[in-house]
Amino acid sequence: MNIPLNPKTPEYKLAQECRAGNQAAQHNLYQLYAKQLMVLCLRYVSNEEDAKEILTDTFVTAFRNFSKFDYKGEGSVQAWLKRIAVNQCLMHLRKNKLRFEEIKDKHEGQVNNNENVLEQMSAKEIMQLIHNLPPGYRTVFNLYVFEEMPHKDIAALLQISESTSKSQLYKARQLLQKQLIQQKKEIL
């Protein structure tokens, strides 16, 4: 069932203004979403300067392509901007020769992460754990866990096989677990 679009929502109005090239509206849009997009960029790229550059490119791309944006309801602007940001991050990683190692051993199963330790950790510490992962593992981990993409989509996006995507995620989880155990030891 299609939900009728409410043209009176602020997001819809903002999208329309941005489409028309209104700079004040573009600034408003930037102020609304810049911070959360910056966090997203920082998850993919550990370097802050690179993250800033990616954020800049994200908004430039969005403003230039607003005519192609199709408003589909509340939250669609945010989702669209996120998608652009992820693509920009992937483009940046590809430029820096992102590689995915094919791991032939077991690549599915449960990893006994220590939840209690994770709950006690701050966002900055979690970000640090993610940054410590190799770029290939980190990319797949981000796409699967935070963007909630299935392996099939990740494989298509990164031009890798589904099994490679699964193995990268498994390895990422293993590495995270190691780091968490180390953190737990430090706390105790």
Partner 1 sequence: MNQHIDELLRDKMKGASIDELMESYDEEAIWQQINKKNRPLLKAKNLYGMQYWRYAAILILGLLLGFYFDKNKETEVLTEQRISTGKAHMDTVFINTPMPKITPMTSSFPAKKTNQIRVIKSMHKESGDNNEMPLVQETRTEIRQEEKAIVLAVKKEIRVVYFEDIQMEDKALATISEKKSRRKLLQVNMPQSKEATSQELPLRSFVYALNQ
Least distance to partner 1, CB of residue 32, Å: 11
Least distance to partner 1, CB of residue 3, Å: 24
Distances (CA, A) of 167 to 51, 126, 146, 159, 162: 27, 21, 17, 15, 9
Closest C-alpha to 178, from 104, 83, 111: 111
How many other CB atoms are found less than 10 A from the CB of residue 157? 17
- Which of 119, 159, 186, 188 is in the footprint of partner 1 by CB under 8 A? 119
Closest C-alpha to 167, from 111, 103, 113: 103
**Residues near 66 by beta carbon (within 8 Å), at least 6 away in sequence:** 15, 18, 19
Binding flag, residue 68, partner 1 (CB under 8 A)? no
Which of 22-28's residues contact partners 24+ apart within 8 Å by CB, and which partners? 26/59, 26/63
User: Which residue type does 129 have?
Assistant: L
| Nearest to partner 1 of 2, 67 (CB atom) | 67
| Nearest to partner 1 of 31, 67 (CB atom) | 31
| Nearest to partner 1 of 76, 114 (CB atom) | 114
Least distance to partner 1, CB of residue 145, Å: 5
| Nearest to partner 1 of 35, 83 (CB atom) | 35
| Nearest to partner 1 of 8, 115 (CB atom) | 115
Q: Which two tokens stand for residue 114?
A: 């220590």
How many other CB atoms are found less than 10 A from the CB of residue 45? 22
Tell which positions 28-67 bind partner 1, by CB under 8 A: 30-31, 34-35, 38-39, 42-43, 48, 52, 55-57, 59-60, 63-64
Q: What residues line the site for partner 1 (CB under 8 A)?
A: 23, 27, 30-31, 34-35, 38-39, 42-43, 48, 52, 55-57, 59-60, 63-64, 110-113, 115, 118-119, 121-124, 126-127, 144-146, 173
